[in-house]
Amino acid sequence: MSGQGTVIKRFGSEALFEDESRQVHRAKVRRKLSHLVVGDRISYQKSGDEFIISAIQPRRNLLTRQYFRGKARSIAANIDQILIITAPLPRADWTLVDNLLVTVRLMPARATLVRNKSDHPDTPEDIGILREYEALGYPVIHTSARQPDSLPPLAERLKDGLSVMIGQSGVGKTTLANQLIPDLDAPTREISENAELGQHTTSAATLYTLPGGGRIIDSPGIRDFTPTPLEKQEYQHGFVEFDHWLGQCQFHNCLHRQEPGCAIKQAVENGKISQRRYQSYLALVEPGD
């Protein structure tokens, strides 16, 4: 017996997958398919009681992150939308958000910013930065996992395709998943509070089907996120507001640092591009400087 399915969780040499009739099975992963990730479309074979994943279908895209000085690591495949979750606490790292937006734009996938814990006050600085993202065309949805009334706009945005929640540990990703999926009871911070300090509550990315349509992946928290290293010339395409000025610099291969006649630098000086976003760009083009 054989068929096709979607990987919903990956652990060691095994994975959980959902078949075409939504049945979940535990399966062995062939060693040559060790790059398998959640979201992958797969072919399986069944012999006796055992399921074996035998092939990975070509991927539409792959969300990958870079470890500090380390190798690239794949998080999930075939993603339609990335939800970048922030909260007043733990305080948002906006450089991390900009890095994620670069990755999402180049994948490509849709990006939506979710501001969770709206039951806590926002600082004026954070309010300003969130407005800046909205002005760039990124939707910002305010939610509180403690206030179920606040969730329908989020559920609405998740209706189509596969979304993945990404954000620092503790912003409420798993709590949101638990609220969106009534019969889910995934462990959140409280439950693991007695566990060793610093341990991640969500240890493996997991894919869930939402009652109102769509699918969502809850992922472990990320403290720092750097896009997989690109050619220096590619980063400029990860910043949506640069588009308007590209091609107007004096040098066709301008990297928008110190070059004379740079249209991007000019736009920063004129307040058309935010200083903060420009610094995020420079940090990617000149790492370690």
Q: How far is the CB of 189 from Zn ion (least distance, A)?
A: 44
Q: Is 143 in the site for Mg ion (CB under 5 A)?
A: no
Question: Within a 10 A sphere around the Cβ of 220, how many other Cβ atoms?
Answer: 16
Compare residues 126 and 259 and give the one whose CB is closer to Zn ion: 259
Contact map string, positions 212 to 241, toward ligand GDP, x by CB under 6 A:
---------x--------------------
Q: Pick one of 39, 172, 214, 238: the residue that binds ligand GDP (CB under 6 A).
A: 172
What number of CA atoms fall less than 13 Å from residue 183's CA on the CB side? 4
CB 110 within 8 A of CB 81: yes
Compare residues 202 and 280 and give the one whose CB is closer to Mg ion: 202
**Which of Zn ion, Mg ion, ligand GDP, none sits in contact with 249, Cβ below 5 to 8 A by type?**
Zn ion
Rounded CA gap, 53 and 55, in Å?
6
Which residues from 177-216 bind Mg ion, rule CB under 5 A?
201-202
Rounded CA gap, 108 and 161, in Å?
14
Q: Pick one of 190, 196, 231, 289: the residue that binds ligand GDP (CB under 6 A).
A: 190
Closest to 252 (Cα-Cα) out of 243, 261, 239: 261
Q: Is 180 in the site for ligand GDP (CB under 6 A)?
A: no
Please report the DSSP string for 176-200 in residue order. Answer: HHHHHSTT-----HHHHTTSPTT--
Closest to 240 (Cα-Cα) out of 272, 283, 197: 272
Which residues from 92-121 bind ligand GDP, rule CB under 6 A?
116-117, 119-120
* Sites of contact with ligand GDP (CB under 6 A): 116-117, 119-120, 144-146, 167, 169-175, 188-190, 201-202, 221
